[in-house]
Amino acid sequence: MTSQAKISLVSAALLASLGLASGSALAVQQGDILVRAGVANVSPTGESDELTSIAAGAKVEADDATSLGINFTYMATDNIGVELLAAWPFSHDINGMGSISGLGKVAETDQLPPTVTVQWHFMPSNNIRPFVGAGVNYTTFFNTQTTGALTGVGLDLDSSWGLAAEAGVDIDINSDWFVSGQVWYMDIDTDATIGNGIGTYSVSIDPWAYMIGIGTKF
Ligand code: NI
């Protein structure tokens, strides 16, 4: 083999290995649409104001809820993504607090918290791709009803607009699929109207939301 031929061979091998290397990474770039689906948990941190028309010192808070989440990220540039978070409804128990903490569960509600964030992807061409984001959350409540000791008391929850912040990481499994972990903080506050208008009270929900999922890109 001539030295020229050896150089050609080595070059070909290098090119092939480069091709394999880039082929094995699910690099993200402008124009890609990332889709992630998985298990999502919404963990509220807030509680209501004092529900004076129920009892002095009465408060409520929403319990954790788990559901299925799905989100779509459009890469506007190699580094900037726009994500829509969607989900199946989350069903939350609403528990008595303060002077009515002994009542346990007093209501339940379902909610959907669609959230749009603009993300910064730090290392879009890596096999491990961390990102952060900020945006807006809209939450709508439905199937809201009282139960237990408050059965029969009317309850209505207004929808909520608020800011959201997000962090996450995608980790390649192979050239088509990745696992993802994401966390959001959502500023969700609702007005609860009790007993056909005998009182309206602010309820802070302000949850952390977590999602572990698997993703791919188109
Ligand atoms: Ni809040």
Q: Where are the domains of the chain?
A: 3-217
Instruction: Provide the pLDDT for residue 148.
Output: 94
Cβ neighbours of 31 (radius 10 Å): 11
Cβ neighbours of 14 (radius 10 Å): 10
Q: Compute the distance from residue 139 Cα to the ligand 1 centre, in Å.
A: 12
Q: Compute the distance from residue 207 Cα to the ligand 1 centre, in Å.
A: 9
Cβ neighbours of 33 (radius 10 Å): 12
Q: Compute the distance from residue 148 Cα to the ligand 1 centre, in Å.
A: 27
Instruction: Provide the pLDDT for residue 22.
Output: 46
Q: Compute the distance from residue 188 Cα to the ligand 1 centre, in Å.
A: 5
Q: Is residue 3 pLDDT above 80, yes or no? A: no
Kindly report the average pLDDT of the chain as a whole number.
91
| Amino acid at site 170 | D
Q: Compute the distance from residue 102 Cα to the ligand 1 centre, in Å.
A: 26
- Alpha-carbon distance values, 55 to 34, 59, 110, 194 (Å): 49, 9, 25, 12
Tell me the pLDDT tens digit for each residue of 113-123: 999 999 999 99
| Contact (CB, 8 A) for 124 and 78 | yes
Ramachandran angles phi, psi of 101, nearest 5°: -65, -25
Q: Compute the distance from residue 47 Cα to the ligand 1 centre, in Å.
A: 10
pTM: 0.85
Q: Compute the distance from residue 107 Cα to the ligand 1 centre, in Å.
A: 20
Which of these ranges, 3-7, 73-77, 153-157, has the smallest mean pLDDT?
Answer: 3-7
Instruction: Provide the pLDDT for residue 118.
Output: 98
Using CB atoms within 10 Å of the CB of residue 17, give its burial: 0 to 12 exposed, 13 to 18 middle, 19+ buried: exposed
- Alpha-carbon distance values, 123 to 22, 37, 48, 79 (Å): 14, 21, 41, 8
| Amino acid at site 56 | A
Give me the DSSP letters along 106-147. EEEEEEE--EEEEEEES-TTSSEEEEEEEEEEEEEEEEEEE-
Q: Compute the distance from residue 214 Cα to the ligand 1 centre, in Å.
A: 30
- 140/153 Cα distance (integer angstroms): 21
Q: Compute the distance from residue 97 Cα to the ligand 1 centre, in Å.
A: 18
What are the residues whose beta carbon lies below 5 Å from ligand 1 (ion)? 187, 189, 204, 206
Q: Compute the distance from residue 83 Cα to the ligand 1 centre, in Å.
A: 22
Tell me the pLDDT tens digit for each residue of 184-199: 999 999 999 998 778 9
Q: Compute the distance from residue 70 Cα to the ligand 1 centre, in Å.
A: 24
Q: Compute the distance from residue 158 Cα to the ligand 1 centre, in Å.
A: 14
Q: Compute the distance from residue 192 Cα to the ligand 1 centre, in Å.
A: 14
Q: Is residue 1 pLDDT above 90, yes or no? A: no
CATH node for 3-217: 2.40.160.20
Q: Compute the distance from residue 200 Cα to the ligand 1 centre, in Å.
A: 16
What's the N-to-C CA distance of the chain in angstroms?
Answer: 45
